[in-house]
Amino acid sequence: MTLDPAALPVSELKRRLLDEGEPLGAEAEAALRSDRRAGARAVLAAVERRRAANRAEGQRLRRLLEFETVLWHKGVDRIGGVDEAGVGPLAGPVVAAAVILPKFLRPRGLDDSKKLDEPARDRLAAEVKAGALAWAVGQASPGEVDALNVYRAGLLAMRRAVEGLSVAPQYLLVDARRVPGVRVPQQGIVKGDARSLSIAAASVLAKTARDALMVEAEARWPGYGFARHKGYGAPEHLAALRRLGPCPIHRRSYAPVRQALGLEPEQGDLFAPSPGARGGASGGATGRRAGGRADGAGD
């Protein structure tokens, strides 16, 4: 139906143009621009703001595809983005995700998970999982964090995620590091979760997967507030540590946990990389091809 602004009340203009997103043709736009009703002109202003926002989002997404575009031009189609979550918490696993996005999938608002609130992360995680060629999640347990240090444990979780993909990637884009033990060409990108759409997608999947695990941990070990702070060193968490002592998922190599146990600090540098260190690839990976089921055991 052709839009005739002069024949419609402002409420109908709002419904069709703003709520339903009906395209506004040139003639109808000119008519709205000359409409004497303030409400009609306000609708036009809202349409123009939405157009500007869409243009800005399109430009932002194109910038996030800079690394992917270079690879696409070389004939590399299956690009795996890899990222992890959970380096800083005192409790719970390090969780990593690997995801292969099709070229056409550009979820609106997808960004570094740290820049997104929880509802946005949940929405985007669902959209990424539904549209991805493949995705997988890998874990490194608190015990592995203590045994390896958190840097190496993060690499282990990343490796497990990559090896859990149901579609083999041709190339990996990794946030700030390289994944050892996988025979796939790869590039580490500093602040990659804010510079690559594929890595941003992985960051959202890793963050939402880990948050869900910590919500489950709250039910199993109540009193620590895991569902709220996700294991980070919030005042509530530190107070619970002093009151209750550590539970099985607390990282014994982290100073506040060791203090709660009456022990001296153990590791000089929790984050030290070790170029020769390779963790085992058994366990810890879950994932699915788009449309399948995510099942598998985590650490």
Asked whether residue 289 carries a pLDDT value surpassing 60, the answer given is no
With beta carbons less than 8 A apart as the criterion, state whether 127 and 200 touch.
no
Give the lowest-confidence range in 22-31, 45-54, 71-80, 234-243. 45-54
- Would you kindly state where each structural domain of the chain is located, as residue ranges? 5-63, 67-210+274-289
Q: 67-210+274-289 maps to which CATH number?
A: 3.30.420.10
Asked whether residue 277 carries a pLDDT value surpassing 70, the answer given is no
Q: What does the alpha-carbon distance between residue 201 and residue 135 come to, in Å, rounded to a whole number?
A: 10
**Bigger pLDDT: 297 vs 160:** 160
Give the lowest-confidence range in 17-31, 59-73, 200-214, 282-296. 282-296
pLDDT the model gives residue 290: 37
Tens digit of each residue's pLDDT (9 = 90 or more) over 109-145: 999 999 999 999 999 999 999 999 999 999 999 999 9
pLDDT the model gives residue 266: 66
Average pLDDT, the chain: 88
pLDDT the model gives residue 183: 95
pLDDT the model gives residue 271: 57
Q: Which two tokens stand for residue 9?
A: 């009340």
